[in-house]
Amino acid sequence: MNSPTMISRLDILIYAHDGRGLGHISRSIAIGMALRRLYPELKVLFISGSAFIAELIDSVSLDWLKLPAYATTITKGKSRGINGPSNYTDNELGALRAEAIKQVVEIYRPRVVLCDHSPRGKHRELLPAQEVAKDTPWILGVRGVVGAVPQVFSEDARATFKRYFHKILWYGDEAVLGHSGLKELSTCFGCAPIACGYVSRLGELGRWRKSEQPGLKKYAGTISIPWQGEETSAVVSNLAAALKNIGPDHGQWRLFLGMNGDQPGQDLDQLFADLPHVQVEPPGSRYAEALAQSKTALIYGGYNSITDVLCLNLPAVVLLRAMQDEEQKLHLQLLARHTGNQLRILPEHEATAEALEQLLRTQLAQCLPKPTIKLNGAEIAVHALVQTIHQCLTPQLLP
């Protein structure tokens, strides 16, 4: 049997930590999809702990490794780590994942590693791998609006970046978000970021499905509530009342309703039992198909959901959770200046039945102009990664 050092090296390892939302892994998976499409000869591997990896990758030939998942709960807008589905504590998961990632790096010997959001990982889990791969260029990918996230801008994060990282990829559009985010990153890390544009997993998935024709708008709308938070029960109850008043005249509604990650959750789907024009199902791969065939959408304001509706140029009602880092709030405010009425923002605590009904009716009647937001960030990120490989192909790095 060949030893690992006799096998050709992995070209690109992509890591994204996981938590409540899907933004980190959806961006990373989109870039992995673009790598497999544009450079099919390269060896690419994605690694994360999210339970939604398979659904997000869909039928694309991007290979992946599953780590035990992190879990978080949110209290008064502040996220806190709790026991994961494997029942290890948050601290234990950080230590276990650190060892697993280090072993992956030792075995596969990647030429380049891309990680999302934080140079050190969510719980410092990247540090052991970085220490054993000192000669491997690490690249940091950062969303367009970071928010008040200590893991990204701390002194320790800056020191880690200086020691191991070569580039920053910024997943935003300067025409929409301005230059302040780029300047903040440049000042913090002493490295000018590469402005890629928004990274859209749905857009990249559509390129893999290029032979398929866009679906007709046969659904009234698609609603995504991927996980239950402090306000979810009230929001869903009000939503049921709103959809009852709207009725079936506009078509079927598809509601993708997730459970509470740290508790059994409530049987909120029973609120729609007497509404035959509302189909309730768990989050999964059918969401993209439903969204593409909808007249409007109701989503939360995470990066993944926002890029989905931007990619489809779909009018949407965007629910805003009250989070202390205020990333989503700031991001949506900047987007709204550029997109006009495409995104109607509604804080969760203001999501009454009347407000939901009015906004959904308004968005059903919307006719949007051609979009102008830069959504090809995955391709630009890929070219930056491949350029790094070529720059580092010195004799000692060859297979």
User: Do 97 and 243 reside in the same domain of the chain?
Assistant: no
Burial class (CB in 10 A: 0-12, 13-18, 19+), 341: exposed
Q: How far apart are CA 326 and CA 144, in angstroms?
A: 13
Q: In what order do the strands lie in the sheet with 64-66?
A: 64-66, 44-48, 12-15, 112-116, 138-143, 165-171, 194-195
Does residue 228 sit within a domain?
yes
- What is the pLDDT, as a whole number, of residue 4? 65
User: Do 77 and 133 reside in the same domain of the chain?
Assistant: yes
Average pLDDT over residues 65-74: 83
Lowest mean pLDDT across 16-25, 35-44, 84-93, 360-369 = 16-25
User: Do 192 and 251 reside in the same domain of the chain?
Assistant: no
| Cβ atoms of residues 170 and 194 within 8 Å | yes
User: Do 175 and 223 reside in the same domain of the chain?
Assistant: no
User: Do 391 and 338 reside in the same domain of the chain?
Assistant: no
User: Do 23 and 155 reside in the same domain of the chain?
Assistant: yes
Does residue 138 sit within a domain?
yes
Average pLDDT over residues 36-56: 95
pLDDT at position 262 over 60: no
| Closest-CA residue to 307 (of 193, 218, 176) | 176
Higher pLDDT, 257 or 70: 257
Does residue 206 sit within a domain?
no
Burial class (CB in 10 A: 0-12, 13-18, 19+), 338: middle
pLDDT at position 265 over 60: no
Indicate the pTM of the whole model: 0.91
Q: How far apart are CA 30 and CA 366, in angstroms?
A: 29
- What is the pLDDT, as a whole number, of residue 397? 40
Q: What is the mean pLDDT of the chain?
A: 89
User: Do 259 and 380 reside in the same domain of the chain?
Assistant: no
User: Do 391 and 308 reside in the same domain of the chain?
Assistant: no
User: Do 236 and 350 reside in the same domain of the chain?
Assistant: yes
Domain count, the chain: 2
Indicate the DSSP class of residue 199: B
- What is the pLDDT, as a whole number, of residue 398? 41
- What is the pLDDT, as a whole number, of residue 57? 94
Q: How far apart are CA 109 and CA 132, in angstroms?
A: 10
Average pLDDT over residues 52-69: 93
- What is the pLDDT, as a whole number, of residue 395? 44
Does residue 19 sit within a domain?
yes
pLDDT at position 341 over 60: yes
pLDDT at position 214 over 70: no
User: Do 24 and 143 reside in the same domain of the chain?
Assistant: yes
Q: How far apart are CA 45 and CA 111, in angstroms?
A: 12
Does residue 210 sit within a domain?
no
pLDDT at position 137 over 70: yes
User: Do 113 and 92 reside in the same domain of the chain?
Assistant: yes
Does residue 209 sit within a domain?
no
Question: Domain of 250: which CATH number?
Answer: 3.40.50.2000
Quick one: tokens of 146?
């970071």
pLDDT tens figures, 249-259: 999 999 999 87
Average pLDDT over residues 8-16: 96
User: Do 299 and 234 reside in the same domain of the chain?
Assistant: yes
Does residue 205 sit within a domain?
no
- What is the pLDDT, as a whole number, of residue 393? 67
Residue 213 binned pLDDT confidence (cut-offs 50, 70, 90): low
Average pLDDT over residues 368-395: 89
Does residue 208 sit within a domain?
no
Average pLDDT over residues 63-79: 79
Higher pLDDT, 211 or 340: 340
- What is the pLDDT, as a whole number, of residue 263? 47
Residue 20 binned pLDDT confidence (cut-offs 50, 70, 90): low
**Residue range of the domain that includes 253:** 219-364
